[in-house]
Amino acid sequence: MNGLARYVVSVFVLLTIAPGAFAATPAQIDTARNKALAWLIKTQNGDGSWKTTPGTEVLATTAGLDALNKAGLKSYPYAAGLSWLSNATAISNDSLARQIVSLYQAGTNVSALTARLITQRNDASRNWGALDEYEGSFPDTSLAMDALKISATAYADAGYGIGFIATRQNADGGWPYTKSEPGAATPKSWLIPTAYNLLTLNRYKTLYAVQTYINNGITWLKAQQKAGGGFGEGAAGTVHETTLDYLAVVASLGATDAAALAAQDFLIAQQAIDGSWAANPYLTAMVLQTFPVPAPALADTDKDGIPDSVEVVLNTNPTVADSRWLASGNGQSIAGSTAPQPLPQAVIRQPYTYALVVNSGVAPYAWSVASGALPPGLTLNASNGVIGGTPTVLGPASFEYAVKDASGQLRVVAAQIAVVDVPGSAEIPTLSEWGVIVMGMLLAVSMVHLEKKRQRRQG
């Protein structure tokens, strides 16, 4: 083998077996983030949710909200998704735990949801299964423990949950989905439950002596990485498993670990031309959570919550607040939720007053405009919910108003106020409009004259 051949082989080996040798640049990460955020916003349903298949709405929507939150996109898409999630009923413990985390990070009171989560544990072993009172499993227990920890919920039995995770670790360092498998003396270690358990143990490691379990788990996890940087149970890495394992590696060893850098390279290489990963909202949102928080914050000229760099991808105007109209569908067309609720009309240049109504929650309330804008000349009173002022511009104005009660519960409502002219009045025509009117009259007179000449000839 000559020198050139040996060089080519050496480069090939480095590319295939040296994770992290060629880390993605900040520019590549920014480009991937902008394209993914644009795709995620465009594929949001009109009711605020995301989903891939029926029954995955909570899973996909919580991931979407977490991705927007991390990127700093607190615009209409975020408010609409939050409103939908606040009214959703999560059946499984997996979905309920994710719902708690997303709502808590948005500043919503989740005490009722955490109380429900605790009642749904298996009281005999004080851990969580897929559904209410089911036998303990992963990632259900780890997700539940995360939700309680992240939401700062006082939970006296946390040691039982962490103990359940620790005692179910296999000798190889990985974790199974359940504590037993039919026909297997020892349940097999899998990437997904191992990643979730490592994330949970890292959150509790200042309270419990779990570092040895983390070390053994991360050693097993890194040994499963493929030559191309991905993680997967089969011959090749998958986006889902690589995303979760990347997060686990970063939580344990930091973002500069070679395995983490290689996994990030793999994920960026899997991004589709449209900006998504496998045209899947959940996967796309999960990958977005692997990107570092943008620093400095992304520029947003029109202050509509959509960064200028994302608006370029969306082909929208970064100087016009237009995030309200980016959702692709209109859900069930429920006024105030998935379509603007029409409020009483306002008359231009005349005083206007309307008090918004809230039918639930605990007083006092705090009111604000969440997105869009009131008609010019009108303002919203933050303490009593009264819209007042004198409108100065004709036409409809769509906006979202948010109302938060004393307990922290938040509701976002889509609304619209149409500013109309004084009923029965007529505006004075402009000079050009007078020209059109006169031309029309002359044409009519000419047509009458021609018709009379035709009739005389025939007569």
Which whole number is the average pLDDT over 389-411? Answer: 82
**Same-domain status, 49 and 161:** yes
- In the beta sheet, which residues pair with residue 137? 178
Q: Which pLDDT score is estimated for 297?
A: 75
The percentage of residues in the chain with a pLDDT greater than 70, rounded to a whole number, is 79
Q: Which region among 13-17, 100-104, 157-161 has the lowest average model confidence (pLDDT)?
A: 13-17
Q: Please check whether residue 191 lies inside any domain of the structure.
A: yes
Specify the DSSP element, H or E, that contains 370.
strand 366-372
| Count of structural domains, the chain | 2
Give the CA distances from residue 367 to residues 19, 321, 363, 380, in Å, rounded to whole numbers and listed in that order: 51, 21, 12, 8
**Same-domain status, 240 and 125:** yes
Which whole number is the average pLDDT over 312-325? Answer: 65
**Same-domain status, 94 and 13:** yes
Last residue of a domain, one of 405, 420, 435: 420
Q: Does the structure show a pLDDT above 50 at 6?
A: no
Q: Which pLDDT score is estimated for 4?
A: 41
Give the CA distances from residue 128 to residues 121, 133, 134, 165, 248, in Å, rounded to whole numbers and listed in that order: 5, 7, 7, 11, 21
Q: Does the structure show a pLDDT above 70 at 456?
A: no
**Same-domain status, 345 and 403:** yes
Beta carbons within 8 Å of 331's beta carbon, 6+ residues apart: 45, 46, 47, 48, 49, 337, 338, 339
405 vs 144 pLDDT, higher one: 144
What are 222-236's pLDDT values in tens digits? 999 999 999 999 889
**Same-domain status, 274 and 364:** no
Q: Please check whether residue 285 lies inside any domain of the structure.
A: yes
10 vs 108 pLDDT, higher one: 108
- Domain of residue 385: give its range: 341-420
Is the distance from CB of 44 to CB of 77 less than 8 angstroms? yes
**pLDDT band of 439, cuts 50, 70, 90:** low
331 vs 52 pLDDT, higher one: 52
The two tokens of residue 388 are 């007042």
Q: Please check whether residue 36 lies inside any domain of the structure.
A: yes
Which whole number is the average pLDDT over 196-218? Answer: 97
Q: Which pLDDT score is estimated for 398?
A: 78
**Same-domain status, 119 and 257:** yes
What are 30-41's pLDDT values in tens digits? 999 999 999 999
CATH assignment of the domain containing 400:
2.60.40.10
**pLDDT band of 3, cuts 50, 70, 90:** very low
Query: How many CB atoms within 10 Å of residue 133?
Result: 12
Is the distance from CB of 386 to CB of 355 less than 8 angstroms? yes
DSSP 3-state assignment of 381? coil
Among residues 68, 72, 85, 36, the alpha carbon closest in space to that of 239 is found at 36
Beta carbons within 8 Å of 72's beta carbon, 6+ residues apart: 293, 294, 297, 298, 307
Distance CA 339, CA 345 (A): 17
235 vs 247 pLDDT, higher one: 247
Q: Which pLDDT score is estimated for 195?
A: 97
119 vs 17 pLDDT, higher one: 119
Q: Please check whether residue 104 lies inside any domain of the structure.
A: yes
Q: Whole-number mean pLDDT of the chain?
A: 83
CATH assignment of the domain containing 49:
1.50.10.20
Q: Which pLDDT score is estimated for 188?
A: 92
Q: Which pLDDT score is estimated for 331?
A: 43
**pLDDT band of 451, cuts 50, 70, 90:** low
pTM for this one? 0.67
**Same-domain status, 367 and 307:** no
**Same-domain status, 405 and 308:** no
**Same-domain status, 200 and 258:** yes
**Same-domain status, 305 and 357:** no
Report phi then psi at 416, rounded to 5. Answer: -150, 135
Q: Which pLDDT score is estimated for 328?
A: 47
The percentage of residues in the chain with a pLDDT greater than 90, rounded to a whole number, is 54
Q: Which region among 49-63, 112-126, 375-389 has the lowest average model confidence (pLDDT)?
A: 49-63
Q: What is the DSSP string of 391-415?
A: --S-EEEEEEEEEE-TT--EEEEEE
**Same-domain status, 355 and 292:** no
What are 168-190's pLDDT values in tens digits? 999 999 999 987 666 667 789 99
Q: Please check whether residue 320 lies inside any domain of the structure.
A: no
Last residue of a domain, one of 314, 331, 351: 314
Give the CA distances from residue 185 to residues 28, 166, 173, 188, 213, in Å, rounded to whole numbers and listed in that order: 46, 19, 16, 9, 21
**Same-domain status, 170 and 291:** yes
